[in-house]
Amino acid sequence: MSTDELLSRHRAVMPNWISPLYAEPIELVSGEGCRVADASGRTYLDFFGGVLTNMIGYDIPEISDAVRAQIDRGIAHSSTLYLIRKQVELAEKIAKVSGIPDAKVFLANSGTEANDTALMLATQYRRSNQILAVRNSYHGRSFAALAVTGQRSWSATSLSPLSVSYLHSGDRLRGVFAGLSDAEYIARSVTDLREVLATTTAGDVACLIAEPIQGVGGFVAPPDGYFKAIKEVLDEHGILWISDEVQTGWGRTGEHFWGYQAHDAVPDMLTFAKGIGNGFALGGVIARAEVMDCLSAVSFNTFGGNPISASAGQAVLDYVLSHDLQSNAARVGDVLHAGVRGLASPIVAEVRGKGLMLAFELVRPGTLDPAPELALRVLEETKANGLLVGKGGLYGNVIRMGPPLTLTEAEAKEGLDILAAALAAAHQQAVTA
């Protein structure tokens, strides 16, 4: 069956709001290391990793062997009505690396479910449905997660089980805090938080949910130290802080294991997903025991932390730690960041991110006007030359990259050459338009 036939069948039975990338979508059928191949046999260097999910890359024996061993035992599922050894072992390891004292772990199937669970815990613990969230954020696809998502293009409904007040994002390219120093930005953000609490809430707010680096938002981030200052205000009111680490976790930023650790403060809850499963459905919440145990009703999870996903998660976490992939993310990330900045393209307004979490924002030459058409051109040009990247940002004009943490310096430089050619083509399009 051809790719065109598969696309036609996809459009016939799948929702029209699920839209594959590219003018001519591709089907990925195999992979090894940091490379994948499509149905035609063409190979690509993967700088997006299934939206930062294939964190270790493809066809990793340690992960395949762990999953195969569990399948060979004949138990793929049992649910949390029974003891699951692999789930307990993984939870113990995650609690140990979380940095949260007296931590307990609830394993789920995705980042959406993890964030939904964290919001449920916070509202139950505080007996309030009032939430603080951040503009330009994205927290998932469920009813509650969409309610705290601060991007109109991803907010499918204004209906909500929550009362949400939004803080300003870390955008200093064209946001209301544009041009401020780090210290000025933090001071004004604290002032803004106090004003929001005094004016748009009833006071008894449950929590703040925030990404240390906004993923779908285009890798926008506040300055280091921001969350320490914010948490001092939250603590005055007993408000919980949920750090959404679905994209920043497991050493991806290079400098720290978790994104929150750049801020010299510890959250009350931390959510994770994506990379820890390396393609297997796995996410979860880490919380202080007092918060995690606050539910007054019985609950359980049918599929979350099932033996196969938990086996994969253990193998992934062990691989990250034993191969010190955090250090690799820092070292190779420096190569990528320096390389993109060195291109000095007139259509690149800003380069953002940390470690192997890199984005650049495309604008029309000589302006700060978002240029989503140039992002599409870069997307198509990189694909044509054997590189897969992602797209995002509030205006759809940001190229996002989150390669596997196993990426080598040679592969980074290979990708930079392709990016340089793609940016040159996009710039040519801009000046001749």
- pLDDT for res 146: 87
Round to whole Å and give the CA distance between 433 and 416: 25
Considering its fold, how many domains does the chain have in total? 2
pLDDT per position as a tens digit, 199-236: 999 999 999 999 999 999 999 999 999 999 999 999 99
- Same-domain status, 49 and 73: no
Confidence tier at 433 by pLDDT (50, 70, 90): confident
Specify whether 265 is located in the same domain as 363: no
Same domain, 292 and 402: no
348-393 per-position pLDDT tens digit: 999 999 999 999 999 999 999 999 999 999 999 999 999 999 999 9
Mean pLDDT of 326-355: 96
- Tell me, yes or no, whether 234 and 305 share the same domain: yes
CA dist 114 and 94 (Å) reads: 14
313 lies in the same domain as 381: no
Of 322, 355, 382, the residue at which a domain comes to its end is 322
Helix (H) or strand (E) holding 314: helix 307-322
Q: What burial letters (b/e) apply to 4-27, b meaning 16+ CB within 10 Å?
A: eeeeeeeeeeeeeeeeebeeeebe
Q: What confidence score (pLDDT) does residue 356 get?
A: 98
165 and 17, same structural domain? no
Give the tokens for residue 85: 């050894």
Both structure tokens of 382: 């990189």
Which amino acid belongs to residue 91? A
What mean pLDDT is predicted for residues 297-324?
A: 95
Question: If you average pLDDT over residues 298-323, what whole number do you get?
Answer: 95
pLDDT at residue 340, as a whole number? 96
Confirm if 199 and 162 have CB atoms less than 8 A apart.
no
Q: Quote the pLDDT of residue 154.
A: 82
- How far is the C-alpha of 269 from the C-alpha of 100, rounded, in Å? 8
Non-local (6+) Cβ contacts of 314 within 8 A are 66, 86, 89, 90, 93
Query: In what helix (H) or strand (E) does residue 398 lie, and over which residues does it extend?
Result: strand 398-401
pTM, two decimals, is 0.96
Residue 1 has pLDDT above 90, yes or no: no
Which stretch of 10-14, 259-263, 267-271, 313-317 has the lowest confidence by average pLDDT?
A: 10-14
Region 111-122 average pLDDT: 97
Q: Label residues 318-338 b or e (16+ Cβ within 10 Å = b).
A: ebbeeeebbebbbbbbebbbe
Summarised one tens digit per residue, pLDDT across range 256-309 is: 999 999 999 999 999 999 999 999 999 999 999 999 999 988 888 899 999 999
Residue 19 has pLDDT above 90, yes or no: no
The CATH number of whichever domain residue 335 belongs to comes to: 3.90.1150.10
* pLDDT (0 to 100) of residue 293: 96
Last residue of a domain, one of 282, 307, 322: 322
What percent of the chain is modeled with pLDDT above 70? Answer: 100
Check: CB of residue 423 under 8 Å from CB of residue 348.
yes
Q: What angle do CA 29, 35, 40 make, to 5 degrees?
A: 40
Convert the pLDDT of each residue in 125-140 to its tens digit.
999 999 999 999 999 9
CA dist., res. 161 & res. 164, Å (int): 9
340, 313: one domain: no
CATH number at residue 285: 3.40.640.10
Residue after which a domain boundary falls, among 269, 299, 322: 322
Angle at 328 between CA 403 and CA 252, to 5 degrees: 50
414, two tokens: 């290979």
Same domain, 204 and 221: yes
DSSP code string of 256-286: -SSGGGGGT---SEEEE-GGGGTTS--EEEE
- At 15, is the secondary structure helix, strand, or coil? coil
Torsion of CA 422, 426, 427, 431, to 10 degrees: 160
Give the mean pLDDT of 396-423. Answer: 98
Domain span at 272: 64-322
Residue 240 sits at φ, ψ, to 5 deg, of -80, 155
Q: What is the pLDDT of residues 151-188, one digit of tens each?
A: 888 887 788 889 999 999 999 998 889 999 999 999 99
Compute CA distances 223 → 42, 339, 394, whole Å.
Answer: 41, 22, 19
Same domain, 176 and 273: yes
Length of the chain equals 433
Same-domain status, 302 and 360: no
**Is residue 96 domain-shared with residue 202, that is, in the same domain?**
yes
Q: Are residues 360 and 285 in the same domain?
A: no
What's the pLDDT tens digit per position in 55-94?
Answer: 999 999 999 999 999 999 999 999 889 999 999 999 999 9
